[in-house]
Amino acid sequence: MGLVRDSSPPARAGESRELETLLHQAPERLNALADALSSALGALDPNLVGAVARSRARWLGELDRLRIKTLAALARHQADTVAQLRRLRHALAPGGPQERRLGGIHYLVRYGPVVLDRLLAELPPTGHQVIAL
């Protein structure tokens, strides 16, 4: 089993916060749009107000399902990232810094210098660490 399952770029914390903000704001925006439609269509034909209300309920239901799926995908992606970093940490130092299975250069070549930034940002420091390029 490889250390990394896929090559898709990981979602950054800012991206997930932005998604959560958009999903939180979406019902308010949808309700505002439905209110405007209801007013405009109600002036044209009062029977259309009920159609807008039914559409609003469907839209909000679909939006809620989308929100649930998005949050589940974010949670899966975060769990995958944590698992990848644990495997990477174990491969670099399975029993201590002198017992490496794979050298760090392997990850630098495969993923670029961003892997060091991710390691430093995601993993808590444990004792003496030296990372030099």
Global confidence as pTM: 0.56
The SS3 assignment for 12 reads coil
pLDDT tens for 26-45 read 999 999 999 999 999 999 99
38-47, 64-73, 95-104, 118-127 — which is least confidently predicted? 95-104
pLDDT tens for 5-25 read 444 444 566 777 888 889 999
Residue 132 maps to a domain: no
Residue 74 maps to a domain: yes
Residue 6 maps to a domain: no
Residue 32 maps to a domain: yes
Rounded to whole angstroms, the Cα distance separating 91 from 71 reads 30
Longest Cα–Cα distance in the chain: 78
Domain of 23, in residue numbers: 13-122
| Count of domains observed in the chain | 1
Rounded to whole angstroms, the Cα distance separating 86 from 1 reads 14
Provide the token pair at 130.
């030296």
Residue 129 maps to a domain: no
Residue 93 maps to a domain: yes
